[in-house]
Amino acid sequence: MNNSQQQRVCILGSTGSIGVSTLDVIARHPDRYSVYALTVHTQIEKLAEQCARFHPKVVVVGSASAADGLRQLLLHAGLQDIQIEFGPQALCDVASSAECDSVMAAIVGAAGLPAALAAARAGKKVLLANKEALVMSGSLFMDAIKSSGAALLPIDSEHNAIFQCLPRHFDGKPDQHGVRKILLTASGGPFLHRDVATLNSVTPEQAVAHPNWVMGRKISIDSATMMNKGLEVIEAHWLFSVPSERIEVVIHPQSVIHSMVSYNDGSVLAQLGNPDMRTPIAYGLAYPERIDSGVDALDLVKVGKLNFEAPDFNRFPCLRLAYEALEVGESAPTILNASNEIAVQAFLDGKIGFNLISKLIEQCLNKMPVTQVSDLEGILSIDAEARSVANSLIKK
Protein backbone atom coordinates (compact mmCIF):
# COMPACT_ATOMS: atom_id res chain seq x y z
CA MET A 1 0.00 0.00 0.00
CA ASN A 2 1.12 3.59 -0.55
CA ASN A 3 1.30 6.12 2.22
CA SER A 4 -2.26 7.32 1.91
CA GLN A 5 -3.47 3.72 2.34
CA GLN A 6 -5.29 4.05 -0.95
CA GLN A 7 -5.28 0.78 -2.88
CA ARG A 8 -3.66 1.37 -6.27
CA VAL A 9 -5.44 -0.79 -8.81
CA CYS A 10 -4.44 -2.06 -12.23
CA ILE A 11 -7.37 -3.18 -14.38
CA LEU A 12 -6.46 -5.57 -17.17
CA GLY A 13 -9.33 -5.39 -19.68
CA SER A 14 -10.89 -2.16 -18.43
CA THR A 15 -13.34 -1.73 -21.33
CA GLY A 16 -14.88 -5.17 -20.89
CA SER A 17 -17.95 -6.04 -18.91
CA ILE A 18 -15.93 -6.82 -15.75
CA GLY A 19 -13.59 -3.87 -16.29
CA VAL A 20 -16.48 -1.41 -16.52
CA SER A 21 -18.15 -2.86 -13.42
CA THR A 22 -14.85 -2.62 -11.55
CA LEU A 23 -14.53 1.06 -12.40
CA ASP A 24 -18.13 1.57 -11.31
CA VAL A 25 -17.29 0.20 -7.83
CA ILE A 26 -14.02 2.14 -7.66
CA ALA A 27 -15.82 5.39 -8.55
CA ARG A 28 -18.01 4.94 -5.46
CA HIS A 29 -14.94 4.91 -3.18
CA PRO A 30 -12.39 7.51 -4.30
CA ASP A 31 -11.01 7.59 -0.77
CA ARG A 32 -10.09 3.90 -0.91
CA TYR A 33 -8.98 3.26 -4.49
CA SER A 34 -6.92 4.96 -7.16
CA VAL A 35 -6.36 3.66 -10.67
CA TYR A 36 -2.73 2.95 -11.48
CA ALA A 37 -3.22 1.34 -14.91
CA LEU A 38 -5.93 0.56 -17.42
CA THR A 39 -5.46 -1.84 -20.33
CA VAL A 40 -7.59 -2.50 -23.40
CA HIS A 41 -7.03 -4.30 -26.66
CA THR A 42 -8.60 -2.03 -29.30
CA GLN A 43 -11.34 0.19 -27.85
CA ILE A 44 -9.32 3.38 -27.56
CA GLU A 45 -12.28 5.80 -27.55
CA LYS A 46 -13.77 4.10 -24.53
CA LEU A 47 -10.34 4.02 -22.91
CA ALA A 48 -9.90 7.76 -23.50
CA GLU A 49 -13.20 8.38 -21.67
CA GLN A 50 -12.02 6.21 -18.79
CA CYS A 51 -8.73 8.15 -18.70
CA ALA A 52 -10.60 11.45 -18.40
CA ARG A 53 -12.57 10.12 -15.46
CA PHE A 54 -10.00 8.01 -13.58
CA HIS A 55 -6.60 9.51 -14.52
CA PRO A 56 -4.51 6.34 -14.57
CA LYS A 57 -0.75 6.74 -14.49
CA VAL A 58 -0.24 4.24 -17.35
CA VAL A 59 -2.40 2.71 -20.06
CA VAL A 60 -1.65 -0.29 -22.25
CA VAL A 61 -3.24 -1.00 -25.63
CA GLY A 62 -2.87 -3.88 -28.08
CA SER A 63 -0.77 -2.37 -30.87
CA ALA A 64 1.46 0.53 -31.91
CA SER A 65 -1.32 1.93 -34.12
CA ALA A 66 -3.82 1.82 -31.22
CA ALA A 67 -1.21 3.64 -29.11
CA ASP A 68 -0.87 6.33 -31.81
CA GLY A 69 -4.63 6.74 -32.01
CA LEU A 70 -4.91 6.99 -28.24
CA ARG A 71 -2.09 9.55 -28.09
CA GLN A 72 -4.13 11.86 -30.34
CA LEU A 73 -7.26 11.38 -28.25
CA LEU A 74 -5.44 12.07 -24.97
CA LEU A 75 -3.70 15.09 -26.46
CA HIS A 76 -7.08 16.56 -27.45
CA ALA A 77 -8.37 15.93 -23.95
CA GLY A 78 -5.33 17.54 -22.31
CA LEU A 79 -4.27 14.22 -20.80
CA GLN A 80 -0.80 13.94 -22.33
CA ASP A 81 0.74 13.18 -18.94
CA ILE A 82 -0.69 9.63 -19.07
CA GLN A 83 1.99 7.15 -20.12
CA ILE A 84 0.98 5.00 -23.12
CA GLU A 85 2.41 1.53 -23.70
CA PHE A 86 1.41 -1.32 -25.99
CA GLY A 87 1.79 -5.07 -26.40
CA PRO A 88 1.85 -8.20 -24.20
CA GLN A 89 5.09 -7.37 -22.33
CA ALA A 90 3.65 -4.02 -21.26
CA LEU A 91 0.63 -5.86 -19.81
CA CYS A 92 2.99 -7.96 -17.67
CA ASP A 93 4.94 -4.86 -16.68
CA VAL A 94 1.94 -2.94 -15.34
CA ALA A 95 0.53 -6.06 -13.65
CA SER A 96 3.76 -6.54 -11.72
CA SER A 97 4.72 -2.90 -11.18
CA ALA A 98 5.81 -1.83 -7.72
CA GLU A 99 3.41 1.09 -8.16
CA CYS A 100 0.27 -1.04 -7.88
CA ASP A 101 -1.23 -3.08 -5.05
CA SER A 102 -4.11 -4.92 -6.71
CA VAL A 103 -4.64 -6.34 -10.17
CA MET A 104 -8.05 -7.04 -11.63
CA ALA A 105 -7.38 -9.79 -14.20
CA ALA A 106 -10.30 -9.27 -16.58
CA ILE A 107 -8.89 -9.86 -20.04
CA VAL A 108 -10.94 -12.50 -21.82
CA GLY A 109 -9.34 -15.82 -22.73
CA ALA A 110 -5.80 -17.14 -22.95
CA ALA A 111 -4.51 -13.67 -23.87
CA GLY A 112 -4.85 -12.77 -20.20
CA LEU A 113 -2.65 -15.53 -18.81
CA PRO A 114 0.87 -13.99 -18.96
CA ALA A 115 -0.18 -10.77 -17.22
CA ALA A 116 -2.29 -12.55 -14.59
CA LEU A 117 0.65 -14.84 -13.87
CA ALA A 118 3.00 -11.85 -13.69
CA ALA A 119 0.72 -10.31 -11.04
CA ALA A 120 0.68 -13.60 -9.11
CA ARG A 121 4.48 -13.87 -9.26
CA ALA A 122 4.87 -10.28 -8.12
CA GLY A 123 2.84 -10.99 -4.98
CA LYS A 124 -0.04 -8.68 -5.85
CA LYS A 125 -3.56 -8.93 -4.56
CA VAL A 126 -4.94 -10.74 -7.61
CA LEU A 127 -8.64 -10.33 -8.36
CA LEU A 128 -9.18 -13.16 -10.80
CA ALA A 129 -12.03 -12.90 -13.29
CA ASN A 130 -10.06 -14.41 -16.18
CA LYS A 131 -10.92 -18.07 -15.48
CA GLU A 132 -9.28 -19.24 -18.71
CA ALA A 133 -5.89 -18.27 -17.23
CA LEU A 134 -6.36 -20.62 -14.30
CA VAL A 135 -7.82 -23.41 -16.46
CA MET A 136 -4.73 -23.30 -18.65
CA SER A 137 -2.09 -23.02 -15.98
CA GLY A 138 -3.73 -24.39 -12.77
CA SER A 139 -0.79 -25.76 -10.85
CA LEU A 140 1.74 -23.20 -12.14
CA PHE A 141 -0.58 -20.33 -11.22
CA MET A 142 -1.41 -21.64 -7.74
CA ASP A 143 2.29 -22.32 -7.07
CA ALA A 144 3.10 -18.74 -8.08
CA ILE A 145 0.46 -17.41 -5.69
CA LYS A 146 1.82 -19.54 -2.83
CA SER A 147 5.47 -18.84 -3.36
CA SER A 148 5.08 -15.07 -3.76
CA GLY A 149 2.59 -14.73 -0.93
CA ALA A 150 0.05 -13.08 -3.25
CA ALA A 151 -3.59 -12.91 -2.17
CA LEU A 152 -5.96 -14.55 -4.64
CA LEU A 153 -9.57 -13.34 -4.62
CA PRO A 154 -11.90 -15.15 -7.00
CA ILE A 155 -14.18 -12.74 -8.88
CA ASP A 156 -16.17 -15.29 -10.88
CA SER A 157 -19.48 -15.06 -9.01
CA GLU A 158 -19.66 -18.79 -8.19
CA HIS A 159 -16.12 -18.95 -6.85
CA ASN A 160 -16.55 -15.73 -4.98
CA ALA A 161 -19.66 -17.26 -3.38
CA ILE A 162 -17.75 -20.43 -2.46
CA PHE A 163 -14.91 -18.34 -1.06
CA GLN A 164 -17.45 -16.53 1.11
CA CYS A 165 -19.01 -19.83 2.28
CA LEU A 166 -15.70 -21.48 3.19
CA PRO A 167 -14.09 -20.81 6.57
CA ARG A 168 -12.25 -17.44 6.57
CA HIS A 169 -8.80 -19.03 6.79
CA PHE A 170 -9.45 -21.96 4.49
CA ASP A 171 -6.04 -23.39 3.59
CA GLY A 172 -6.89 -25.62 0.65
CA LYS A 173 -7.55 -28.70 2.81
CA PRO A 174 -11.28 -29.44 2.43
CA ASP A 175 -11.26 -32.56 4.61
CA GLN A 176 -9.74 -30.76 7.57
CA HIS A 177 -12.51 -28.19 7.37
CA GLY A 178 -15.33 -30.72 7.05
CA VAL A 179 -16.08 -29.73 3.45
CA ARG A 180 -18.00 -32.50 1.70
CA LYS A 181 -18.77 -30.92 -1.64
CA ILE A 182 -18.79 -27.76 -3.67
CA LEU A 183 -22.19 -27.12 -5.22
CA LEU A 184 -21.60 -24.97 -8.29
CA THR A 185 -24.81 -23.36 -9.50
CA ALA A 186 -25.48 -22.75 -13.18
CA SER A 187 -28.33 -20.88 -14.82
CA GLY A 188 -28.37 -23.31 -17.73
CA GLY A 189 -28.18 -20.37 -20.16
CA PRO A 190 -30.66 -19.46 -22.88
CA PHE A 191 -31.09 -23.03 -24.20
CA LEU A 192 -31.82 -24.89 -20.98
CA HIS A 193 -35.17 -26.20 -22.18
CA ARG A 194 -34.99 -25.63 -25.91
CA ASP A 195 -35.73 -28.63 -28.15
CA VAL A 196 -32.29 -30.23 -28.65
CA ALA A 197 -33.12 -30.97 -32.29
CA THR A 198 -33.26 -27.23 -33.01
CA LEU A 199 -30.00 -26.29 -31.26
CA ASN A 200 -27.81 -26.38 -34.32
CA SER A 201 -29.82 -23.64 -35.98
CA VAL A 202 -29.51 -21.08 -33.18
CA THR A 203 -27.90 -17.77 -34.14
CA PRO A 204 -25.06 -16.03 -32.30
CA GLU A 205 -27.54 -13.32 -31.23
CA GLN A 206 -29.83 -15.92 -29.64
CA ALA A 207 -26.87 -17.58 -27.96
CA VAL A 208 -25.42 -14.40 -26.42
CA ALA A 209 -28.81 -13.41 -24.94
CA HIS A 210 -28.25 -14.69 -21.42
CA PRO A 211 -31.40 -14.79 -19.29
CA ASN A 212 -29.84 -13.27 -16.11
CA TRP A 213 -26.38 -11.80 -16.73
CA VAL A 214 -25.03 -9.15 -19.12
CA MET A 215 -21.52 -10.25 -20.10
CA GLY A 216 -18.94 -10.22 -22.89
CA ARG A 217 -19.74 -12.24 -26.02
CA LYS A 218 -17.29 -15.09 -25.44
CA ILE A 219 -18.47 -15.93 -21.93
CA SER A 220 -22.08 -15.57 -23.08
CA ILE A 221 -21.57 -18.28 -25.71
CA ASP A 222 -19.74 -20.37 -23.09
CA SER A 223 -22.83 -20.04 -20.92
CA ALA A 224 -25.09 -21.22 -23.74
CA THR A 225 -22.94 -24.35 -24.30
CA MET A 226 -22.28 -24.66 -20.54
CA MET A 227 -18.56 -24.72 -21.28
CA ASN A 228 -18.53 -21.78 -18.90
CA LYS A 229 -19.60 -24.11 -16.10
CA GLY A 230 -17.08 -26.68 -17.28
CA LEU A 231 -14.29 -24.11 -17.08
CA GLU A 232 -15.62 -23.16 -13.65
CA VAL A 233 -15.43 -26.77 -12.44
CA ILE A 234 -11.73 -26.74 -13.35
CA GLU A 235 -11.35 -23.29 -11.80
CA ALA A 236 -12.94 -24.50 -8.54
CA HIS A 237 -10.64 -27.53 -8.48
CA TRP A 238 -7.56 -25.30 -8.54
CA LEU A 239 -8.84 -22.57 -6.26
CA PHE A 240 -10.14 -24.81 -3.51
CA SER A 241 -8.13 -28.07 -3.95
CA VAL A 242 -11.27 -30.16 -4.36
CA PRO A 243 -11.25 -33.21 -6.67
CA SER A 244 -13.70 -33.23 -9.58
CA GLU A 245 -16.00 -35.86 -8.03
CA ARG A 246 -16.64 -33.45 -5.16
CA ILE A 247 -17.63 -30.56 -7.43
CA GLU A 248 -21.28 -30.89 -8.36
CA VAL A 249 -23.03 -28.68 -10.88
CA VAL A 250 -26.61 -27.79 -9.98
CA ILE A 251 -28.86 -25.98 -12.44
CA HIS A 252 -30.53 -23.04 -10.74
CA PRO A 253 -32.25 -20.92 -13.43
CA GLN A 254 -32.83 -17.80 -11.28
CA SER A 255 -29.08 -17.17 -10.62
CA VAL A 256 -29.86 -15.92 -7.12
CA ILE A 257 -27.80 -18.51 -5.25
CA HIS A 258 -24.32 -18.00 -6.66
CA SER A 259 -22.96 -21.30 -5.30
CA MET A 260 -22.83 -23.36 -2.11
CA VAL A 261 -20.56 -25.40 0.13
CA SER A 262 -21.88 -28.65 1.56
CA TYR A 263 -20.32 -29.68 4.90
CA ASN A 264 -19.98 -33.10 6.56
CA ASP A 265 -22.45 -32.23 9.31
CA GLY A 266 -25.24 -31.75 6.77
CA SER A 267 -25.01 -27.95 6.63
CA VAL A 268 -25.11 -26.28 3.25
CA LEU A 269 -23.92 -22.65 3.16
CA ALA A 270 -24.98 -20.50 0.25
CA GLN A 271 -24.28 -16.96 -0.91
CA LEU A 272 -27.24 -15.15 -2.47
CA GLY A 273 -27.65 -11.87 -4.25
CA ASN A 274 -28.91 -10.17 -7.37
CA PRO A 275 -26.97 -11.28 -10.45
CA ASP A 276 -24.63 -8.29 -10.70
CA MET A 277 -20.86 -8.71 -10.87
CA ARG A 278 -20.30 -5.57 -8.80
CA THR A 279 -20.99 -7.67 -5.68
CA PRO A 280 -18.06 -10.09 -6.10
CA ILE A 281 -15.89 -7.25 -7.44
CA ALA A 282 -16.57 -5.09 -4.35
CA TYR A 283 -15.97 -8.10 -2.12
CA GLY A 284 -12.62 -8.75 -3.80
CA LEU A 285 -11.53 -5.11 -3.75
CA ALA A 286 -12.38 -4.53 -0.10
CA TYR A 287 -11.68 -7.98 1.37
CA PRO A 288 -11.88 -8.60 4.27
CA GLU A 289 -14.15 -5.56 4.63
CA ARG A 290 -17.49 -5.01 2.93
CA ILE A 291 -18.29 -1.87 0.97
CA ASP A 292 -21.19 -0.49 -1.05
CA SER A 293 -21.16 -1.99 -4.54
CA GLY A 294 -24.16 -0.18 -5.98
CA VAL A 295 -26.12 -3.44 -6.12
CA ASP A 296 -29.67 -3.38 -4.75
CA ALA A 297 -30.58 -5.54 -1.77
CA LEU A 298 -32.04 -8.89 -2.75
CA ASP A 299 -35.83 -8.96 -2.59
CA LEU A 300 -36.59 -12.61 -1.85
CA VAL A 301 -40.35 -12.14 -1.95
CA LYS A 302 -40.02 -10.71 -5.46
CA VAL A 303 -37.81 -13.66 -6.43
CA GLY A 304 -40.51 -15.95 -5.08
CA LYS A 305 -39.11 -19.33 -6.09
CA LEU A 306 -35.70 -20.92 -6.25
CA ASN A 307 -35.59 -23.97 -8.55
CA PHE A 308 -32.94 -26.64 -8.97
CA GLU A 309 -32.33 -29.44 -11.44
CA ALA A 310 -29.51 -31.76 -12.50
CA PRO A 311 -27.53 -30.82 -15.64
CA ASP A 312 -28.16 -32.88 -18.77
CA PHE A 313 -24.75 -33.93 -20.10
CA ASN A 314 -26.27 -34.93 -23.46
CA ARG A 315 -27.72 -31.50 -24.03
CA PHE A 316 -24.48 -29.90 -22.82
CA PRO A 317 -21.56 -32.06 -24.04
CA CYS A 318 -19.09 -29.25 -23.26
CA LEU A 319 -19.72 -29.80 -19.57
CA ARG A 320 -18.83 -33.48 -19.90
CA LEU A 321 -15.70 -32.61 -21.92
CA ALA A 322 -14.51 -30.23 -19.20
CA TYR A 323 -14.95 -32.83 -16.45
CA GLU A 324 -13.04 -35.32 -18.61
CA ALA A 325 -10.24 -32.84 -19.30
CA LEU A 326 -9.90 -32.19 -15.57
CA GLU A 327 -9.70 -35.93 -14.91
CA VAL A 328 -7.02 -36.41 -17.58
CA GLY A 329 -5.12 -33.34 -16.32
CA GLU A 330 -1.71 -32.24 -17.65
CA SER A 331 -2.22 -30.41 -20.96
CA ALA A 332 -5.85 -31.49 -21.49
CA PRO A 333 -7.49 -28.39 -19.91
CA THR A 334 -5.21 -26.13 -22.00
CA ILE A 335 -6.30 -27.95 -25.17
CA LEU A 336 -9.94 -27.78 -24.07
CA ASN A 337 -9.71 -24.04 -23.46
CA ALA A 338 -7.84 -23.15 -26.66
CA SER A 339 -10.06 -25.21 -28.95
CA ASN A 340 -13.12 -23.76 -27.23
CA GLU A 341 -11.89 -20.21 -27.88
CA ILE A 342 -11.42 -20.99 -31.58
CA ALA A 343 -14.76 -22.79 -31.84
CA VAL A 344 -16.66 -19.98 -30.10
CA GLN A 345 -15.10 -17.35 -32.38
CA ALA A 346 -15.94 -19.48 -35.45
CA PHE A 347 -19.54 -19.74 -34.24
CA LEU A 348 -19.73 -15.98 -33.62
CA ASP A 349 -18.32 -15.41 -37.13
CA GLY A 350 -21.01 -17.63 -38.64
CA LYS A 351 -18.49 -20.24 -39.80
CA ILE A 352 -19.83 -23.20 -37.80
CA GLY A 353 -23.15 -24.22 -36.27
CA PHE A 354 -23.74 -24.30 -32.52
CA ASN A 355 -23.44 -28.09 -32.19
CA LEU A 356 -20.06 -28.06 -33.86
CA ILE A 357 -18.54 -26.15 -30.94
CA SER A 358 -18.45 -29.22 -28.69
CA LYS A 359 -17.63 -31.58 -31.59
CA LEU A 360 -14.62 -29.51 -32.55
CA ILE A 361 -13.31 -29.44 -28.99
CA GLU A 362 -13.75 -33.20 -28.65
CA GLN A 363 -11.90 -33.78 -31.92
CA CYS A 364 -9.02 -31.60 -30.75
CA LEU A 365 -8.82 -33.40 -27.43
CA ASN A 366 -8.76 -36.75 -29.26
CA LYS A 367 -6.21 -35.61 -31.81
CA MET A 368 -3.63 -34.06 -29.52
CA PRO A 369 -1.44 -36.09 -27.18
CA VAL A 370 -1.62 -35.23 -23.50
CA THR A 371 1.74 -33.96 -22.31
CA GLN A 372 3.18 -32.62 -19.09
CA VAL A 373 3.22 -28.87 -18.63
CA SER A 374 5.50 -27.16 -16.20
CA ASP A 375 6.16 -23.64 -17.43
CA LEU A 376 4.41 -20.75 -19.14
CA GLU A 377 6.25 -21.27 -22.43
CA GLY A 378 5.11 -24.92 -22.55
CA ILE A 379 1.51 -23.94 -21.84
CA LEU A 380 1.52 -21.23 -24.50
CA SER A 381 2.96 -23.61 -27.08
CA ILE A 382 0.23 -26.19 -26.38
CA ASP A 383 -2.33 -23.39 -26.58
CA ALA A 384 -0.95 -22.35 -29.98
CA GLU A 385 -0.91 -25.92 -31.27
CA ALA A 386 -4.49 -26.57 -30.16
CA ARG A 387 -5.60 -23.37 -31.91
CA SER A 388 -3.97 -24.46 -35.13
CA VAL A 389 -5.50 -27.97 -34.90
CA ALA A 390 -8.94 -26.45 -34.24
CA ASN A 391 -8.55 -24.01 -37.14
CA SER A 392 -7.51 -26.78 -39.51
CA LEU A 393 -10.60 -28.79 -38.51
CA ILE A 394 -12.84 -25.77 -39.24
CA LYS A 395 -11.31 -25.32 -42.69
CA LYS A 396 -11.96 -28.97 -43.63
List the single partner that 87 binds among ligand NAD, Mg ion, none, CB under 5 to 8 Å by kind. Answer: none
Q: What is the DSSP letter of 309?
A: B
List the single partner that 15 binds among Mg ion, ligand NAD, none, CB under 5 to 8 Å by kind. Answer: ligand NAD
Number of residue whose CB is nearest ligand NAD: 16
Compute the least distance from the CB of residue 175 to Mg ion, in Å.
26
Compute the least distance from the CB of residue 216 to ligand NAD, in Å.
3
User: Which CB sits closer to ligand NAD, 121 or 218?
Assistant: 218
Q: Using alpha carbons, select from 166, 196, 144 the residue that is nearest to residue 355.
A: 196
List the single partner that 17 binds among ligand NAD, Mg ion, none, CB under 5 to 8 Å by kind. Answer: ligand NAD
Compute the least distance from the CB of residue 226 to ligand NAD, in Å.
13
Q: Using alpha carbons, select from 269, 254, 95, 117 the residue that is nearest to residue 180.
A: 269
Q: Using alpha carbons, select from 348, 262, 251 the residue that is nearest to residue 309.
A: 251
Contact 282, 293 (CB under 8 A): yes
User: Which CB sits closer to Mg ion, 101 or 156?
Assistant: 156
Q: Where are the alpha helices (DSSP H) in 263-371?
A: 278-286, 300-303, 317-328, 332-348, 354-367
Contact 101, 9 (CB under 8 A): yes
Compute the least distance from the CB of residue 185 to Mg ion, in Å.
9
Contact 53, 14 (CB under 8 A): no
Compute the least distance from the CB of residue 111 to ligand NAD, in Å.
3
Element holding 385 (H helix, E strand): helix 376-395
User: Which CB sits closer to Mg ion, 158 or 341?
Assistant: 158
User: Which CB sits closer to Mg ion, 157 or 279?
Assistant: 157
User: Which CB sits closer to ligand NAD, 13 or 138?
Assistant: 13
Compute the least distance from the CB of residue 319 to ligand NAD, in Å.
16
Three-state secondary-structure class, residue 348: helix
Tell me which residues touch ligand NAD (CB under 6 A). Answer: 13-19, 40-41, 43, 62, 106-108, 111, 129-132, 156, 213, 215-216, 218-219, 277
Q: Where are the alpha helices (DSSP H) in 244-316?
A: 278-286, 300-303
Rg (CA), the chain: 20
List the single partner that 70 binds among Mg ion, ligand NAD, none, CB under 5 to 8 Å by kind. Answer: none
- Which residues pair with residue 83 across a beta bridge? 58
Tell me which residues touch Mg ion (CB under 5 A). Answer: 156-158
